[in-house]
Amino acid sequence: MNKFNLNKFLEKNNLSEDDKLFLLSIINDIYSHPEFQKRLDSKNYPHHSSISLGEHILNDAIVAYKIAKNKNYSYSNLKLIILIAMFHDLYEFPWQNSKIIKNKFQNLHGFTHPIEAAINAVTWFPEYFQNLEETKIIIDGIIHHMYPFPVRSLKNGFKETEINNLNKVNFLPSNIKQIIINSSCQNTFFKLSFSKSNSLEGKIVSKADRIVSLKEENLNFNSYKACITGKNPDLND
Ligand SMILES: [Fe+2]
Ligand SMILES: [Fe+2]
């Protein structure tokens, strides 16, 4: 059983009661999903160093919300920011010390995980992808969250990208598949897209992700090295 306590986690982050309730009203359904719960286990899903992927995602949602909340944004802006953060790293398998071999450099986890996250978000949470304009903003935010680090371009389709959830692509609505492809083809060089998110919401999540990631790596050399090599000797294999 997962022992993670969301209420205590939010309390630790110095949020007012109103902020806590606001965040909970948006994140709770996603947080409760079995695929999200699975990713709160730091043994099975260590993301940065030994911090779980789920905790990283929650940290990102909180920091993105804190950046945005005093800026006079509408409810819709704030909701989209929090949703992008909750979906941005929902990739398929743990990446540190992974046994999965990628044949092409451009298909390494760092370049392809935003695409996996977008596919999983649409597959597991279709209710958030009913409005076309919101869908474009959310997907573009997920796809380009790593900026200035590039993302794999889907110019030639999904097949050659060695993503770990290719089996789900055929079940995506065709217009959403096209939105993912279009977003990944902005500012392409070689097989990578060097583009910021087009939206204010996406840019804020990307900024929050950089802040949170640096903090979580905690200036740990092996942890930084793992971002390039994928191998982290500090974690038990
Ligand atoms: Fe990421
Ligand atoms: Fe992230």
Tens-place pLDDT, residues 182-199: 999 999 999 999 999 999
Give residue-wise pLDDT tens across range 124-162: 999 999 999 999 999 999 999 999 999 999 999 999 999
Q: How far, in Å, is the centroid of ligand 1 from the Cα of 46?
A: 13
Average pLDDT, the chain: 91
pLDDT on residue 224: 62
**Closest listed ligand to the CA of 144:** 1
CA distance 187 to 178: 17
pLDDT of residue 225: 63
72: left (phi over 0), alpha (psi -120 to 50) or beta: left
142 CA distance to ligand 2 centroid (A)?
10
Strand-pairing partners, residue 48, are: 51
Tokens of 145: 């969250």
* 126 CA to centre of ligand 1 in angstroms: 21
Q: Is 142 within 8 Å of 181 (Cβ atoms)?
A: no
User: What pLDDT sits at residue 45?
Assistant: 87
Put simply, whether the predicted model's pTM sits higher than 0.85 gets the answer: yes
Distance CA 237, CA 38 (A): 18
Specify the pairing of strand 192-193 against strand 151-152.
Answer: antiparallel
Nearest ligand, CA 147: 1
Taking the centre of ligand 1 as the mean of its atom positions, its distance from the CA of residue 222, in whole angstroms, is 18
Q: Which ligand is nearest to the CA of 210?
A: 2
Q: How far is the CA of 145 from the centre of ligand 1 (A)?
A: 7
Token pair belonging to 206: 């990307």
Ligand 1 center–CA 149 separation, angstroms = 10
- Tell me, in angstroms, the distance from the centre of ligand 1 to residue 73's CA: 25
Ligand 1 centroid–CA 127 distance in Å is 23
